[in-house]
Structure 1
């Protein structure tokens, strides 16, 4: 059944049922996003009172549309949606994204059940209701009323929260995080996280799946699909509703069936899912995975120009399960080539505050060549003797030729911020503090370990 979801992400035609002529209205913004993001398929705005919107011919009713409609985006009052589903069934529609609210999330379960019943009869998969749309960057499809300028990438983001999902779409742009897809699932009346995991598992444009969820519809089905997916691709879940009141809030928000948080955590671990504690952590991990470099083990080397941050990173690594090992003498000898006599090659590899981009480049090249090292954490503190941009360029140069994962923390002022932006632009997992760089590396190692046991 997941093949039907091709219609959601790779449609040849899209109808906007409830397209509007008024800027600021959902039906207008979705149509504008679809057009301006560069979708090349056929677009059919449906509005009984309009002849043209944004230069695109409008249709007064669905029956007037010539040809099939692969994907329908529905933004009309809830009570009219089931009838529209019947009409779409006659147009060969594969998927309908129901933007409209007013279903089970407000206690109107009968209307939602009628919607699903008619959709099944018509052979249509329903995403929603109560959603903000879908985006798939490889198809240049932005059928949402969120930001238009989402950066293409390889992270698929599934969200049960509409407002949060829209906000995070915009945030990923400013953070230079690329997305392959964004799917707002809302009430999950039909298509749920399990269906989407099955589809993204086979999607060559997606390398990591990140899910914000408040509850699951069918726990057994979800864990089965997650277990199959995590053998090939990491799945990161941010599960809200940990507390009793949080679970109650989740239930009233999307009508979710929330369960024991302890049960969720245990099930996630068994299925190979990585559970993040917060949004920052979830996206930090996703960015690290998007670089497609997975460690073979937990043996980490820390390369730094600051002793203090090296100590902090060591503490964080130990707490996160990474092994900050003592390098053999032959390796220490190699590292000592890139530091003054008062430097340290014990691990952390302290190049000292005198280090320039040349020393960083040499030490990192040494680290990626040695088989005893599984992964590398690079820490830079701004000094007067080093140029942050040159440091960033040296890190990128080594990162590009490394088969081992490298995460980076850069700490400093305005010049460091520019260097961080440079690394983000080139797909290097970089963070503004040591804790986040370590956390991201630990997630890579944890998934590598869990995958081997599935």
Structure 2
């Protein structure tokens, strides 16, 4: 249902969705393959320190814990109720939640609006709103926070801890992001699946993320936007970048989005461009761009001007980057246009056959010392706004040593507020380099286009801040 504006009581209670002292799992199952069992297993396996109350009228114990016939028979307070029972039983469970004064409810159950049962879904939403009981879902996979060892849902693992809050309508894509987080060190502060978002919408989780100390960037995957006014309000109210990807652009995609999460897309795609522009949210068009851009915005300052210097030991990497910067509307300038003396100062750190244009090609024989000198000259120059570095592993390139140099320069000059992005194109040694750089707060990517997209996003965000 539509949310016209951010509701304070909902934002206040979202803490209980991600950091509850107690969780009741209604529909807890003794069968390891059932959702009601996986939820408890995930809480226990990942180290949740709060109390877990299985609710199952036909069991005395579930997963080694005392089970309760109903929610009302739990003696202690319950912060979060996770509901995994058939759709026709949900209303009575919600009545128990209200009587028990549960802080917030999550409905994992499907078979609501997405299969044509919109009236039932609206009835549940209206009941919860009348009782100021925030409802997340239905038809969702769960939520979690790696900082709190909290994994609540049928989710196989927690992500790597980091700066990005992931708010997703799709459970499948959320799970993909969690896998990417573990594999590629894409760090998250928290994550949540919204499913059909019958009650709690993007806007209130964005507002919550704006207050979360661990969150530096907010990434939103959406299939439908019922409440554009609230979304715009939320994005404008937070002093953090918001990256959004809106799917369901194609005619068949419109139908698929409704069948998946009951998302109704009656507006053309240009409408969403306008909404994102008003909100001050950066729109990504592909999943890879969505991940790459949010990682950069979560770890680096905005790019305040157009003067980007690229330093590489591979001419081909530089040319790919040149062309993509141009396609993205942020063409590189020659060094002499940025700072008259910069080319001469960087020349001291390259062989005669190197190129001091921009990209600066310090050649395939470049040593860690040459990389360090070139990076430091660019970083120290007040006319330079940002640096893009590139490593191409020749037979003489000490990739590990160059990575250490990048980390040293980044840490030493972080106070200047200049974004530093790396591209490492190669094999296993470059994959290890990317992971180490990301672990030190430096966004690093395997292709020129990904690195350029990240820098351009930092520029776009800087222009939004100026406005």
TM range (shorter): over 0.9
Q: Secondary structure of 1:324's match?
A: coil
| CA–CA distance in structure 1, aligned partners of residues 300 and 319 of structure 2 | 28
- For the pair 1:125 / 2:139, whether they are aligned, the reply is no
Q: Find the aligned partners of 1:426 and 1:29 in 2 and give their Cα distance.
A: 34
CA contact (8 A) 2:313 2:362 kept: yes
Could you list the runs of 5+ residues in structure 1 that have no partner in the other structure? none
Question: Which residue pairs with 1:416 in the alignment?
Answer: 430
In the TM superposition, what whole-angstrom CA distance separates every residue of 1:336-393 from its partner, at most 9, and x where no partner exists?
Answer: 1110111122221110111011111111112211111111111111111111111222
In structure 1, C-alpha distance between the alignment counterparts of 2:15 and 2:148, rounded to whole Å: 11
- Other-structure match for 1:321: 329
The answer to which of 176-185 and 310-319 deviates more is 310-319
TM-score, structure 2 normalization: 0.93
Aligned residue runs from structure 1 range 334-353, under 5 A: 334-353=345-364
Contact 2:140 2:193 in 1 (8 A): yes
Deviations 1:33-84 (A, max 9, x none): 1122222121111111222233322222112211211111100101101100
Residue of structure 2 equivalent to 1:438: 452
Deviation of residue 238 (structure 1)? 0.9
* Contact 1:147/1:169 (8 A) holds in 2: no
Q: What is the rounded CA distance, in whole Å, between the counterparts of 2:273 and 2:98 in structure 1?
A: 40
Partner residue in 2 for 1:237: 244
1:167 matched residue in structure 2? 176
Match of 2:209 in 1: 200
Q: Which residue of structure 1 aligns with residue 67 of structure 2?
A: 58
Secondary structure, counterpart of 2:57 in structure 1? coil
**Contact 1:78/1:103 (8 A) holds in 2:** yes
> In 2, are the aligned partners of 1:299 and 1:323 still within 8 Å (CA)?
no
Which residue pairs with 2:3 in the alignment? none
- Kindly report which structure 2 residues correspond to 1:293-308, keeping only aligned pairs within 5 A, or say none: 293-308=301-316
Which residue in the other structure is 1:377 paired with?
388
SS in structure 2 at match of 1:402:
helix
CA contact (8 A) 1:159 1:184 kept: yes
User: Which residue is 2:255 aligned to?
Assistant: 248
Q: Please say if residues 97 and 127 of structure 1, whose CA atoms lie closer than 8 Å, have aligned partners that are also in contact.
A: yes
Three-state SS of the structure 2 residue aligned to 1:382 is coil
Within a 5 Å distance, the mapping from 1:175-214 to structure 2 comes to: 175-214=184-223
Q: Give the Cα–Cα distance (whole angstroms) in 2 for the partners of residues 68 and 23 of structure 1.
A: 27
CA positional deviation for 1:267: 1.8
- Give yes or no for contact 1:86–1:119 (8 Å, CA) kept in 2: no
- Which residue, 334, 346, 356 being the options, matches 2:367? 356
Gaps of at least 5 residues in structure 2 are: 1-8
Matched, 1:106 2:106: no
How big is each residue's C-alpha offset from its partner over 1:157-187, in whole Å with a ceiling of 9 and x where there is no partner? 1111122222322222111111111111111
Match of 1:291 among 284, 299, 311: 299
Contact (CA 8 Å) 1:146, 1:169: kept in 2 or not? no
Residue 189 of structure 2 contacts residue 214 of structure 2 at CA under 8 Å; is this kept in 1? yes
Q: Deviations over 1:251-301 (max 9, x none)?
A: 222111212101101221222111111110000011111213222212100
Aligned residue number for residue 156 of structure 2: 147
- Rounded to whole Å, the distance in 1 between the matches of 2:190 and 2:379 is 32
- Check conservation: 1:303, 1:351, Cα contact below 8 A: yes
State the distance in 2 between where 1:129 and 1:138 align. 25
1:312 aligns with 2:320: yes
Question: What is the aligned-residue RMSD (CA, Å)?
Answer: 1.5
Following TM superposition, the consecutive aligned residue runs of length 4 or more in structure 1 with deviations greater than 6 angstroms are: none
Using the alignment, how far apart are the partners of 1:334 and 1:444 within structure 2?
27
Correspondence for 1:332 among 338, 343, 354 = 343
Correspondence 1:277 to 2:306: no
Give, in angstroms, the shift of residue 323 of structure 1. Answer: 4.5
- 1:267 equivalent in alignment to 2:275: yes
Whole-Å Cα distance in 1 between the matches of residues 382 and 203 of structure 2? 38
Q: Do the aligned partners of 2:303 and 2:461 also contact (CA within 8 Å) in 1?
A: no
Q: Are the equivalent residues in 2 in contact too, given 1:299–1:322 (CA < 8 A)?
A: no
| Counterpart mapping for 1:84-103 below 5 A | 84-103=93-112
The C-alpha deviation readout for 1:175-218, integer Å capped at 9, x for no partner, is 11111111111111100011111111121111111111111111
Aligned to 1:257: 264
Give a deviation string over 1:124-143, Cα, whole Å, max 9, x none.
10000000111123332211
Distance 1:226 1:124 in 2: 24
The answer for the alignment partner of 2:125 in structure 1 is 116
